[in-house]
A and B are shown apart, each in its own frame.
Chain A
Amino acid sequence: MSAPTGTLDRRAAVKALLAERGDLLVISGLGSSSYDVFDAGEHPGNFYLWGAMGGAAMVGLGLALAQPKRPVLVVTGDGEQLMGIGSLLTIATKQPGNLSIAVLDNGHFGETGMQLSHSGLGARLEVIASGAGIHNVSEIVDMAGIESFRASLRDLNGGPRLARIRIAAGEVERALPPRDGTYLKNRFRGHLGFRVS
C-alpha cells in the first residue's frame, strides 16, 4: 500500500528555498537533488554530490561543525537519506544549531526507474528524525511551508532541523552541474577563503 505523494514542484520548491541565500552553504545529495540545486542557480557555496549515496547529511555535519557561524543546508532525496538513516542519530548527538536538512520526498527512487521507496511505502523521515533526537522537524506540503522553512535557516541556534518536503513524483528535465569533484571541492574552499595548496 503506497503513501500518497506530494504536489510541490521540486524545482520551484528548491528555487524558493535558496532565494536570497546570503551566506548559506549547500550540500546536495546525488541525482535529482543536485540537479535541482544547480538549476536554482550556480554558486561556489554549493557542493554537489554525484555519488556517495547516504553521505550527504554527514558531509553537512562535518561542514556545519567546521563552520559554526555559517548556516548549512543539505538538500537531498528520500532515497538518499534513507540509505544514511543512521546519520540522523549521529547528527542529533552533536545538535549543530546551524545545520538543516531538506528531504525532497517523492516516495520513489527517481533516477532508477521510479521504484517505490520506503517513504513511498509509509515511512516518515521527519518522525524518524524526531525519534533520533532532531527536535525541529516539519512536513512541508505547500510553498508557504517552504517560505517559512527558508526564513528559519538563518537562525544558527534553531537546528538541527529536518523538513520533509512533499514533492510531486513526475520526471523533470535534467540540469547537470559540474562533475569534477576536485574542482567543486577547491571552488567551495576558495569561497570560504581557503587557499588551494
Chain B
Amino acid sequence: MDQIAVHQDSATSTDWPVAIYRTLKSFGVAQVSYVPDAGHSKLIKLSHADADIKTTVLTTEEEGVAMAAGAWLGGDRAVLLMQSSGVGNCVNMLSLMASCRFPLLTLVTMRGEWAEFNPWQIPMGRATPQAFEIMGTSVLRLKNPDDAEEVISAAASLAYDGDQQVAVLISQRMIGRKKWTRETH
C-alpha cells in the first residue's frame, strides 16, 4: 500500500482527495463502493486502507445505488464513487432511492468536459447533470480543490440529514489532463 499523507493539518489544493476523505469520515461514512476512476484512485486507496470503512468494488455503478439503500436500512452511511460515464447506468436504480427517500451521496469525477482527448467520453459527460436531474437527484459542482471540504460537507448534510439523493460532480479540470503517451506536447 502506498504511503498517503492523511494526518497533515491542512490539505493543500493538490490533496483534495484527502480533504474529501476527512469530510466523509467526519460524517461517519461506513461504506464506500466504487467503479474505479483515475481521478478517484487516491480516495479509493484511502478507503481501502481504513479498517472502519467497508470498501467494495462494483461491476457496474447501479449496484452501488442499491447497496447504499441496503446500507441505510442497516444503519450505515454509504458513498458511491464513479466517473461520469457510469451515471447513465444508474438511472432506473435511482427510482429506488426516490421512491423510498433513501439518502444517496455519489461523487462523480467528470470526463468529457475539459481538455477531453477521447470523443467517446463526451456524450455521457455532457448528459451527466441532466441524467441525475431527470431522476430527482440534486447536483452540486466541485470546481476548486480548496472548496472540497465545504462542498462535500454540504452534499453529505443534504443527503444524510435531508434524505435526498445528491451527486457532486468533480470537475475534470481538477483531475488534470490524461496522459496518453510518453511524448510531451
Using CB atoms and an 8 Å cutoff, list the residues of chain A in contact with chain B.
Answer: 25, 27, 47, 49-56, 58-67, 84, 86-87, 89-90, 93-94, 181-182, 184-185, 188-189, 192, 194, 197
Contact B63 A87 (CB under 8 A): yes
Residue on A nearest B95 in the bound complex, by CB = A51
Min Cβ gap B54→A in Å is: 5
Of residues 73 to 106 in B, which have CB atoms within 8 Å of A's CB atoms?
A: 73-76, 78, 92-93, 95-96, 99-102
Contacts of B60 in A (CB 8 A): 86
Contact A185 B30 (CB under 8 A): no
Min Cβ gap A84→B in Å is: 7
User: Which stretch from B64-72, B150-158, B173-181 is at the chain A interface?
Assistant: B64-72
Residue on A nearest B69 in the bound complex, by CB = A59
Residue on A nearest B162 in the bound complex, by CB = A197
Contacts of B66 in A (CB 8 A): 52, 54-56, 58-59, 62, 84, 87
Contacts of A185 in B (CB 8 A): 72-73, 100-102
Distance of A117 Cα from B77 Cα, bound (Å): 35
Min Cβ gap A71→B in Å is: 12
Distance of A64 Cα from B10 Cα, bound (Å): 36
Contacts of B101 in A (CB 8 A): 181-182, 185
Distance of A25 Cα from B163 Cα, bound (Å): 23
Tell me, yes or no, whether B184 is within 8 Å of chain A by CB. no
Distance of A60 Cα from B74 Cα, bound (Å): 10
18 contacts between A and B (CB under 8 A): A47-B73, A49-B96, A52-B93, A52-B95, A58-B67, A58-B70, A61-B56, A62-B31, A62-B76, A63-B73, A65-B54, A65-B56, A65-B71, A66-B30, A66-B76, A84-B63, A90-B59, A189-B72
Using CB atoms and an 8 Å cutoff, list the residues of chain B in contact with chain A.
Answer: 30-31, 54, 56-60, 62-76, 78, 92-93, 95-96, 99-102, 161, 163
Contact B70 A60 (CB under 8 A): yes
Contact B74 A58 (CB under 8 A): no
Contacts of A94 in B (CB 8 A): 54, 56
Contact B99 A27 (CB under 8 A): no
Contacts of B65 in A (CB 8 A): 55
Min Cβ gap B74→A in Å is: 3
Most buried by B among A25, A185, A189: A185
Most buried by B among A47, A59, A61, A192: A59
Contacts of B67 in A (CB 8 A): 58-59, 61-62
Q: State which of A59, A84, A192 has its C-beta within 8 Å of the C-beta of B75.
A: A192
Q: State which of B56, B68, B100 has its C-beta within 8 Å of the C-beta of A181.
A: B100
Min Cβ gap B34→A in Å is: 11
Contact A59 B73 (CB under 8 A): yes
Most buried by A among B60, B68, B96: B96
Distance of A93 Cα from B96 Cα, bound (Å): 24
Residue on B nearest A74 in the bound complex, by CB = B70
Residue on A nearest B160 in the bound complex, by CB = A197
- Having A49-B96, A55-B62, one finds 13 other A-B pairs with CB under 8 Å, namely A51-B95, A51-B96, A52-B93, A56-B66, A59-B67, A62-B78, A64-B70, A65-B31, A86-B63, A87-B59, A94-B54, A184-B100, A188-B73
Distance of A184 Cα from B99 Cα, bound (Å): 10
Most buried by A among B58, B69, B70: B70
Min Cβ gap B165→A in Å is: 13
Contacts of A189 in B (CB 8 A): 72-73, 75
Contact B74 A90 (CB under 8 A): no
